[in-house]
Structure 1
Amino acid sequence: MSDLARLLKESWTLVEDRQDKLAGYFYARLFLSHPKLRDMFPVHMDVQRSRLLAAVVRAVQTLEDPDQFDAYLRGLGRDHRKFGVVKEHFDAVGAALVGALREFAGENWCWEYEQAWQDAYTVIAGKMQAAAETDTNPPFWRAKVVRHERVGQDIAVFTVRPEAPISYRPGQYVSVESGHRPRLWRPYSIANAPREDHTLDFHVRAVNSGWVSGALVRKLAVGDELRLAAPMGMMALDRRSARDIVCVAGGTGLAPIRALVDELIRYNRTRWVHVFVGARTRDDLYLLDDLRLLASRYPWLSVIPACSDDPEFGGETGLVDEVVARYGPWAEHDFFVSGSPNMVRSTIRTLTELRVPSTRIRYDAFGDL
């Protein structure tokens, strides 16, 4: 571990157990010093409060992995163009971040920690700005809803047509803003490989207190307009790999997995693909018939559904990572994992116990893992 990474990790442990209060202080300091920045954020800051801080912290914690570090920051830089971010905004965020860390670390803070965070943030801001400046795409795309279907009590599958084609890799996600919830952007995975008509599918579950998800499931209608930001994410297939594939999806984590299967249908002939889909009850296993139809058409594809809380379900029972552990061996496979933070965390832990190398596990963290 480099000295810089060591100092960053050491200093973060001083404030880690007070992240929520740290985030509140960070935003208060930011808006006090630059009041006009407040208009770039949603009226309700309950969820947003941790997002910007979490993004910066995640970037810092990937310093020791140059490929992941660069890819994450390039995506973040392109994504933040939707806010109209300029260099002065980066400077303001950096000053507020270091000031908040200094305040909450108290007497344990030292000049080495301060310099480490300033140096790290300078690199982060520089890479994000460079990616934004060289991106030839628009800051965001307007897209019209052309189909909207409720496939469960709290789940909707809908299709949008962007005003211009969006270049992306199957497995990636975009931030979405709805006119029903202005200035609230949330990440959602694209659920299909690129099509000739450039339409995109999304799977959304309305979660408790979910401002955006609730609107997308219950209020969104055909003809409505959404805004989509730049594609991000690391869950893309490596076509050079000859290893068989295991996809593990929890709930609407099926969306990027469905996109990967969509891509594999177009070229795969040699790699076995096992898709494990987990949900609480049979009613939550949406699009299961669609997956089974694909499995009947392509001999290399198998679909294993599982329910964790449905005694009458005729298939596998238990949490999806527990079901994966009953099969295998998996040490020589490529893994793609998608779902809630708890589900992804649990699955990664199980795969580690099964001796699957971490370099063969791909996932995108929408929450704290």
Structure 2
Amino acid sequence: MENFARLLKESWALVEGDRRRLSDYFYARAFLLDPDLRRLFPVQMAGQGDRLLDAIVTAIHTVGDPESFDEYLRALGRDHRKYHVTPESYTTMGVALLDALRSTAGDGWNLEFDQAWRDAYTAMAQKMQDGAAADGNPPFWHAEVLTHERYGSDTAVLTAQVLQHPLPYRAGQYVSVEVPRYLPRVWRTYSVANAPNDDNILEFHVRTPGAGWLSGALVRRVRPGDLLRVAAPMGAMTLDRSSERDILCVAGGVGLAPVKALVEELTSYNRTRWAHVFYGARRAVDLWALDELRELVAAYPWLSVTPACSDEPDFDGERGEISEVVTRYGPWTSHDCFVSGSAAMVRATLRALAADQVPPQHVRYDTFGDL
């Protein structure tokens, strides 16, 4: 397994710097092999390749951990039921992926790399199909938007009520969302910002830094009464209820969503574990959930919240990057740690926790973008 993982990572290094070419070649080859596959994807393919590569990178990073590898791919298979993928589709995509890797890698590709990827894709596809086959839930749920609040020009918090039987998710997980009225067949993942509840209500924090696609529609166009489609939950940034370690949560921007859900779950049972939340943003106006967090602090003595701003010198609180602020309050070696935010913020925080000698198995993270 160690040699297998090494071959995958070495070969991936040959193509990682040319992801656009890799994804363009992959989809062009797949649609040429099976033109019917095209109808499974949105009319505009911008960003679609990034999600393919995100899945590949995640799988590569977990291949050395058989349990995580299996769990991730089974969840990915359940999620892909929303596309109505067939076994034949998996075969076609495998051929296209190998062709794309060979073409992009060029002369650096060899037979060892080729066989490693054949074996890896076969295992990945089988685990995904096994996960899909074992799932008795629908491929997606319908949810009606109940509330929609804007925070500035680029952020919104919305709630939606699942209209079918409950969505079986855990606090800290994320789901794929589609807005069929505005962008059919365009799916994006968003963390659920609340713990499971009897009313089947989901909360989402959405930010769109530019024109956006689905995030732009969720921020600027969606209104109460609109219908969303929500696919199977994924992600392992969940609480271990058997752990007796105290908890550290580090959130940046909309990365607060899964952290907020974890805190809500803790309020339902926790009595003995201290929980420390560090919540960072560039400006104070971007800490839109701070008042709600402070209400929880007032109600639960085991909870503390430390806000921080990096670009507001007059902020009445901690100043600096949230990864730096967390370091000032350490050590965190005896904590279960949860990190969520932009790729840069997550990288910096993971480095800080590693320097603090936090065991890797005690750290879980969720990132908005590639690591």
TM-score under structure 1 length normalisation: 0.97
Paired letter, 2:359: P
CA shift for structure 1 position 54: 2.9
| Aligned residue among 241, 251, 254 for 2:253 | 251
Instruction: Please state whether the residue corresponding to 1:127 is helix, strand or coil.
Output: helix
Q: Structure 1, residues 138-178: CA drift from partner, whole Å, max 9, x if none?
A: 00001101111113332211111112210111000100011
CA shift for structure 1 position 44: 1.7
CA shift for structure 1 position 109: 2.2
Q: Structure 1, residues 88-115: CA drift from partner, whole Å, max 9, x if none?
A: 1100110001111112222332222211
Aligned to 2:127: 127
Aligned to 2:53: 53
Runs of 4+ in structure 1 off by over 3 angstroms are: none
Aligned to 1:174: 175
Q: Please give the alpha-carbon distance, in whole angstroms, between the structure 2 residues aligned to 1:366 and 1:321.
A: 16
Q: Please give the alpha-carbon distance, in whole angstroms, between the structure 2 residues aligned to 1:261 and 1:129.
A: 34
Contact preservation (8 Å) 1:166, 1:198:
yes
CA shift for structure 1 position 366: 4.0
Contact preservation (8 Å) 2:340, 2:366:
yes
Q: Structure 1, residues 283-324: CA drift from partner, whole Å, max 9, x if none?
A: 000021111111011110001000000112110000111100
Residues 208-219 of structure 1 aligned to structure 2 (within 5 Å) = 208-219=210-221
Contact preservation (8 Å) 1:187, 1:366:
no
Q: Structure 1, residues 315-366: CA drift from partner, whole Å, max 9, x if none?
A: 0000111100010211111111111111111111111111111111101244
Q: Please give the alpha-carbon distance, in whole angstroms, between the structure 1 residues aligned to 2:118 and 2:261.
A: 39
Task: Report the number of matched residues.
Answer: 369
Q: Please give the alpha-carbon distance, in whole angstroms, between the structure 1 residues aligned to 2:108 and 2:312.
A: 51
Q: Please give the alpha-carbon distance, in whole angstroms, between the structure 2 residues aligned to 1:53 and 1:316.
A: 36
Contact preservation (8 Å) 2:341, 2:366:
no
Report whether the alignment pairs 1:149 with 2:139: no
CA shift for structure 1 position 226: 0.3
Aligned to 2:36: 36
Residues 1-369 of structure 1 aligned to structure 2 (within 5 Å) = 2-164=2-164, 165-178=166-179, 179-369=181-371
Q: Please give the alpha-carbon distance, in whole angstroms, between the structure 2 residues aligned to 1:3 and 1:273.
A: 40
Counterparts in 2 of 1:215 and 1:199: CA distance versus 1, 3 Å:
same
CA shift for structure 1 position 57: 3.6
Structure 1 residues 6-15 or 351-360, which shifts more?
A: 6-15
Q: Please give the alpha-carbon distance, in whole angstroms, between the structure 1 residues aligned to 2:62 and 2:19.
A: 19
Q: Please give the alpha-carbon distance, in whole angstroms, between the structure 1 residues aligned to 2:205 and 2:107.
A: 48
TM-score under structure 2 length normalisation: 0.97
Contact preservation (8 Å) 1:152, 1:286:
no
CA shift for structure 1 position 74: 1.1
Structure 1 residues 206-215 or 309-318, which shifts more?
A: 206-215
Contact preservation (8 Å) 2:148, 2:156:
yes
Q: Please give the alpha-carbon distance, in whole angstroms, between the structure 1 residues aligned to 2:257 and 2:316.
A: 24
Instruction: Please state whether the residue corresponding to 1:200 is helix, strand or coil.
Output: strand
Instruction: Please state whether the residue corresponding to 1:267 is helix, strand or coil.
Output: coil
Q: Structure 1, residues 224-263: CA drift from partner, whole Å, max 9, x if none?
A: 0000000000111000100000100000111111111100
Q: Unaligned stretches of 5+ in structure 1?
A: none
CA shift for structure 1 position 9: 1.9
Q: Unaligned stretches of 5+ in structure 2?
A: none
CA shift for structure 1 position 129: 0.1
CA shift for structure 1 position 12: 1.8
Paired letter, 1:13: A
Instruction: Please state whether the residue corresponding to 1:184 is helix, strand or coil.
Output: strand
CA shift for structure 1 position 184: 1.1
Contact preservation (8 Å) 2:280, 2:321:
yes
Structure 1 residues 313-322 or 57-66, which shifts more?
A: 57-66
Contact preservation (8 Å) 2:308, 2:322:
yes
Structure 1 residues 276-285 or 174-183, which shifts more?
A: 174-183
Contact preservation (8 Å) 1:60, 1:120:
no
Percent identity, please. 59
CA shift for structure 1 position 11: 1.8
Q: Please give the alpha-carbon distance, in whole angstroms, between the structure 2 residues aligned to 1:24 and 1:233.
A: 27
Instruction: Please state whether the residue corresponding to 1:182 is helix, strand or coil.
Output: strand
